[in-house]
Structure 1
Amino acid sequence: MTTRFKRFSFDELRKVTRGFSEVIGQGAGGTVYKGVLPDQRIAAIKRLNEANQAEAEFLAEVNTIGMLNHMYLIEMWGYCVEGKHKLLVYEYMEHGSLAENLSSNALDWKKRFEIAVGSAKGLAYLHEECLEWVLHCDVKPQNILLDADYQPKVADFGLSKLLSRSKIDHSSFSRMRGTRGYMAPEWVYNLPITSKVDVYSYGTVLFEMTINIGTTTRKSWIEEIIDPMMAGSYDKDKMELLVKVALQCVAENKDERPTMNQVVEILMSHED
């Protein structure tokens, strides 16, 4: 087990969350609570559902996160495994998830573009830069968290798959699942699973960040589909770029999708 994290007792985490009183997130894997650690750092503490994950899987998740270090990935500070109790202690993200913010006026087009770039960089690191080959397998707005400056961090590696780069067969994913609406066709058709499943999910997230279904016809196609939250206050070229990248990412054929590194390069070429 990695030693760079603190191992907390269940009683310690019950105290820092004041009896698990403040819920800040909930998903299929468990519930997330806000807590204040003894050193006064604010933390997000994820309590996993009791029947959801065996101890071996839990420790594998902790080890996976322990190998990852990137400014656009959520940072883990500690964990607890004590009988039926399994918890993860993360840095707290002030603005919650991208999902919570998509209907908010707080996300202007500039922030949205930065979130697109940052989350792409985080995923590119997982796929191509870290020591092992990591697939996230559940990329969605709920798993992109925003800090005090609305900088994104990719979170929740509960479904992640870690493989040695030397492995040829990347298809041993029979137990992996994502979230309906974000899953690439490969899952449905039982095809080999590669990093392109995350690319597909990312493309779906880009669509959610940029377009609005059912708007009235205006002057150009980009004006016709743009989220009305950004009406008149966006960079037309950049928004057009995001939609085009999204379309490439959700190509039915995985070989036609770009890699996350290629996505980063395309978006970076248009940054200020």
Structure 2
Amino acid sequence: MTALIQFPRNAVALREMQTQGHALIGSTLRALASPFEVAGRCSEELRELRLTSAAQLRRGNLADAKVNHARMLRRAAAVNAAHTALWTVAHPHMVATPVVTVHIAHMMLSVLLRSVGKVKNVETEALLAECIGMFDPTSDVVGKATGMWVPISKHPVILALAVRKLIYGSVFTSAEEFRKAMLAARGTILHLVSDTESWSGLLRNCDRCVFEHDRVAWDAAYARVGADVARVMQDSDEEGYEDDDGEYVPPSPRWAALQAMIGAGNEPPSR
């Protein structure tokens, strides 16, 4: 496990580390400001939009589908980008992403300790070391093997959120509180990822409904957006493929129409 990690003994060096920690927390969260904003708006809209499931693509649902489609389509690419950005935060072990190093953890946690009024002493240094030790891969191995604790995320965004949560709560007395804050931060990211997926799924259902029952309105809607939107609206399960007998199964008409827009490099008209 991680050895005891001490605060800088020099007061100037300690203040410098805390200043760097503040800057690092701020820059880490600002880098995802746009995905957070987009995902938050998706969460709000899911409470307002007229829900249309995959089983409700009949003409009787066309009116609701068109209302949603008109409101949502232009933002399809932005929501897809937000989902991608937040998914990598929620699942850093699945893709190549930044990870929390001992130095990063030390800087961010030093900000937390100062903000909640912790003074530099042996007890505080032990608390700091215990929290930093959670980022040691050995901690994950032991936790998984014994079932004694759940490994925490190693993504800097999760750490930055957890630190902010504890600062705003003005309470930080144990490593357990820090672990709970880390798990809560990841839970929030997972919720936002789920909402962007639900939002995109709703848009796709509406898109299929409008395409099938009002092709003129569908064409008009896509004339106002670019090929980037058409690209994210394609679904792989509608793409052409070769079946088990070697026969070619053509793509769905909607997939083919979207592909034509992508091939043409359509861009929305200038305003």
TM-score by length of structure 1 reads 0.28
Structure with more of its chain in strand, by fraction: 1
Q: Which one scores higher on RCO, CA 8 angstroms, separation ≥ 6?
A: 2
TM-score by length of structure 2 reads 0.28
